[in-house]
């Protein structure tokens, strides 16, 4: 193993230095050492950082820049696989409490009016969306395992984007039916997944023009999704089940709602750059935007679940005396306890995603230096 800060593994010793000093000394042995002197004189030629090679354990030809790139890529892959595995498991586990909470509120509604009928349909759609999110989490875990084994395919990404878009579509339609008054945020949340589905259909084409159109449509969907979660139009879907609860509800993807939109928009912009630039080239520009999106989403994944978990713990602590959990059924208290514990998994996944994004930046920088 070559270490950059150490020269112990290099075949450089005092005898080699003394031999180099003897090359220029007169004597009968000079002719015998002519070939070795020429080799040593050739090795003394200055090398640039890009072409610098070393001799390790008797084998030459190791490029320092390539070695750094391989190390950074290996670190990035390991951190990314760990982050995706943990986040996928967190998605699946944190969807279960959402289903239980909406089922509890669903059981309290009667079909006595048309408005209640629409509310029941909306809750069923949101619960169905949570089931889709569980499937998405399982797919992320499977994709992480395949990526670690080198058996990753584009089909997993296509299915993942489709499930995520269908998840947002069910959430948007369910919110429109569940909210009594009109909400532009819910309407925008319904439109954006339709654009994402159109974008992924264009990306499935083999022509570069269709992929470019799909990237533009996906970027438009990301902008609309950002507006849907903005303070001006924001619809807090999970707030619908916490009617009188003083908690900071997460966004659709369990992160801070204020950062999910920008992260998805940057990811769509990265896909646009990836389609515009040469797909076969190692241009670091098209790989730099993906770590930015991961970094933004990672910070939101740490802060959002952390604040929500602390809010749940505060409610559980005050439950014997006051608060919404006072005299609540045991099912609700147990669900909140399980949800608070499951949020820790998302926090760990967010930390790993931040580290993976930083490793991605370093890998892009190493690729640019080659």
User: Dihedral (C-alpha) 266, 269, 274, 275: value to the nearest 10 degrees?
Assistant: 160
pLDDT recorded at residue 269 = 77
The Cα 157–Cα 272 span in angstroms is: 16
The Cα 218–Cα 29 span in angstroms is: 75
Q: What is the average per-residue pLDDT within 129-153?
A: 90
DSSP 45: S
Q: What is the average per-residue pLDDT within 247-262?
A: 81
pLDDT at 370 over 80: no
pLDDT recorded at residue 16 = 43
Return the higher-pLDDT residue of 36 and 247: 247
Three-state DSSP at 6 gives: coil
The Cα 143–Cα 81 span in angstroms is: 9
What percent of the chain has a predicted confidence (pLDDT) above 70? 72
pLDDT in tens, 80-101: 999 999 999 999 999 999 898 8
Q: Where are the domains of the chain?
A: 1-45, 65-369
The Cα 293–Cα 259 span in angstroms is: 10
pLDDT in tens, 338-349: 999 999 999 999
pLDDT at 268 over 70: yes
The Cα 302–Cα 351 span in angstroms is: 7
pLDDT recorded at residue 332 = 85
- Tell me the two tokens of residue 298: 């990672």
- Identify any residues that bridge with 55 across adjacent strands, giving them in sequence order: 60
- Other C-beta atoms lying within 10 Å of the C-beta of residue 16: 11
Nearest Cα residue to 362 out of 60, 77, 49: 77
How far apart are the two ends of the chain, measured CA to CA in Å?
A: 21
- Say what the pTM is: 0.75
The Cα 223–Cα 235 span in angstroms is: 16
pLDDT in tens, 29-79: 444 444 444 444 444 444 444 444 444 444 444 566 676 777 777 888 899
């Amino acid at each position: 193993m070559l270490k950059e800060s150490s020269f112990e593994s290099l075949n450089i010793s005092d005898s080699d230095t003394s031999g180099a000093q003897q090359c220029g000394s007169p004597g009968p042995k000079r002719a015998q050492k002519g070939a070795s002197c020429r080799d040593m004189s050739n090795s003394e030629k200055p090398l640039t950082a890009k072409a610098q090679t070393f001799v390790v354990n008797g084998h030459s030809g190791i490029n320092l820049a390539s070695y750094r790139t391989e190390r950074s890529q290996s670190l990035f892959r390991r951190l990314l696989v760990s982050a995706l595995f943990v986040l996928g498991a967190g998605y699946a586990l944190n969807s279960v409490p959402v289903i239980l909470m909406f089922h509890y509120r669903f059981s309290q509604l009667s079909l006595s009016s048309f408005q209640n009928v629409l509310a029941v349909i909306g809750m069923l759609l949101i619960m169905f969306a949570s089931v889709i999110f569980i499937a998405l989490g399982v797919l992320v875990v499977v994709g992480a395992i395949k990526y670690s084994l080198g058996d990753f395919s584009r089909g997993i990404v296509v299915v993942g984007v489709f499930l995520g878009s269908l998840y947002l579509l069910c959430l948007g339609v369910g919110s429109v039916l569940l909210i009594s008054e009109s909400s532009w945020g819910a309407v925008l949340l319904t439109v954006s997944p339709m654009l994402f589905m159109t974008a992924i259909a264009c990306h499935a084409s083999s022509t570069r023009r269709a992929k470019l159109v799909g990237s533009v449509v996906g970027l438009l969907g990301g902008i609309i999704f950002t507006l849907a979660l903005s303070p001006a139009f924001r619809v807090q879907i999970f707030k619908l089940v916490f009617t009188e609860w003083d908690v900071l509800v997460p966004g659709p993807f369990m992160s801070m709602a204020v950062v999910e939109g920008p992260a998805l928009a940057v990811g769509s912009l990265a896909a646009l750059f990836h389609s515009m630039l040469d797909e076969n080239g190692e241009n670091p520009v098209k790989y730099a935007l993906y770590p930015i999106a991961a970094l933004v989403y990672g910070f939101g994944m740490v802060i959002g679940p952390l604040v929500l978990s602390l809010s749940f713990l505060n409610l559980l602590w005050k439950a014997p005396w006051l608060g919404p959990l006072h005299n609540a059924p045991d099912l609700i208290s147990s669900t909140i306890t399980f949800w608070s514990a499951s949020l820790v998994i998302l926090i760990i996944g967010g930390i790993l995603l931040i580290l993976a994004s930083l490793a991605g930046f370093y890998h892009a920088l190493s690729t640019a230096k080659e």
